[in-house]
A and B are shown apart, each in its own frame.
Chain A
Amino acid sequence: MELIPTQKRTKNMIKKFSISSIFAQLLLLIFVFVWIAPSFGLFISSLRDKDVLAISGWWTSFTTTDVNEIYRTEGMESQVEENGYFIIKGKVFEEGSGKLISRFGVTSKNIDEFEVGEIAVFKDGSEISIDKTGNYFWRSKEKFTKKKGKRIFISASSPPSFTLDNYKEVLLREGLGQAFINTFAVAIPSTLIPLIICSFFAYSLTWMRFYGRDLLLATVIAALVVPLQMSLIPILSIYNDIGNLFGVAAKSFPGIWMAHTGFGLASTTFLLWNFLKSLPNEMMEAARVDGATHYDTFIKIVVPLSIPAFASIFILQFLWVWNDLLVGLVFLDKHPSEIILTAKLKELLGSRGENWEILTTGAFISMSVPLLIFFSLQRYFIRGLVAGSVKG
Chain B
Amino acid sequence: MTIFSLALTVLVGILVFVLFFHFSNFLLDYFGRRSSKIFKLENSLRVVIFIAPAFIVLFVFIIYPVFETIRLSFYDKIGREFLGWSNYAWAIKDPDFRRSILNNFGWLLIVPTLSTFFGLVIANLADRIWWGTIAKSIIFMPMAISFVGAGVIWKFIYDYRGPGDEQIGLLNAIVVALGFEPQAWLTIPIWNNLFLMAIMIWIQTGLALVIFSAALRSIPSETLDAARIDGASELKIFWSIIIPYLQQTILVIWTIITILVLKVFDIIYAMTNGQWQTEVLANLMYDWMFRGGGDSGRGSVLAFCIMIGVIPILGWNLYQHRKEQKI
Residues of chain A touching chain B, judged by Cβ–Cβ distance below 8 Å, are 4-5, 8-9, 12-14, 16, 20-21, 24-25, 27-28, 31-32, 35-39, 41-42, 45, 53-59, 181-182, 185, 188-189, 192-193, 196-198, 200-201, 203-204, 208, 210, 214, 216-238, 253-254, 257-259, 261-263, 265-266, 269, 293-295, 319, 322-326, 329-330, 337, 341-342, 345-346, 349, 356, 359-360, 362-363, 366-367, 370-371, 373-374, 378, 381-382, 385-386, 388-392
Total inter-chain residue pairs, C-beta < 8 Å: 339
> Is the interface on chain B under 10, 10 to 19, 20 to 34, or 35 or more residues?
35 or more
Given A14-B130, A385-B143, A385-B210, output 13 extra A-B contacts at Cβ < 8 Å. Answer: A4-B221, A36-B138, A58-B168, A193-B14, A208-B47, A217-B321, A226-B314, A230-B62, A234-B69, A235-B61, A263-B62, A265-B58, A370-B146
A-B contact pairs, 11 of them (CB 8 A): A57-B173, A204-B50, A219-B58, A224-B317, A226-B66, A230-B69, A262-B58, A265-B61, A325-B146, A371-B145, A390-B317
The stretch of B86-94, B147-155, B189-197 in contact with A is B147-155
Q: Which residues of B contact A216 (CB under 8 A)?
A: 51, 55
Residue contact B262 to A227, C-beta cutoff 8 Å: yes
The minimal Cβ–Cβ distance linking B186 to chain A, given in whole angstroms, is 12
Top-9 shortest CB links A-B: A262-B61, A323-B146, A201-B54, A363-B152, A374-B144, A231-B65, A234-B68, A234-B65, A204-B50
Could you say which of B156, B269, B306 contacts A229, with CB atoms under 8 Å apart? B306
Q: Which residues of A contact B159 (CB under 8 A)?
A: 356
Q: Which residues of A contact B313 (CB under 8 A)?
A: 225
Residues of chain B touching chain A, judged by Cβ–Cβ distance below 8 Å, are 1, 3, 6-7, 9-10, 13-14, 17-18, 21, 25, 28-29, 42-44, 46-47, 49-51, 53-55, 57-58, 60-66, 68-69, 72, 79, 118, 121-122, 125-130, 132, 135, 137-149, 151-157, 159, 166-170, 173, 202, 205, 207, 210-211, 214, 217, 220-221, 225, 234, 252, 255-256, 259-260, 262-263, 265-266, 269-270, 282, 285-286, 289, 296, 299-300, 302-304, 306-307, 310, 313-314, 317-318, 321-322, 325
Residue contact B256 to A390, C-beta cutoff 8 Å: yes
CA gap between A57 and B190 in the complex, in Å: 27
Q: Which residues of B contact A342 (CB under 8 A)?
A: 146, 148-149, 266
Residue of B nearest to A222 (CB): B314
Residue contact A214 to B72, C-beta cutoff 8 Å: no
Q: Which residues of B contact A223 (CB under 8 A)?
A: 58, 62-63
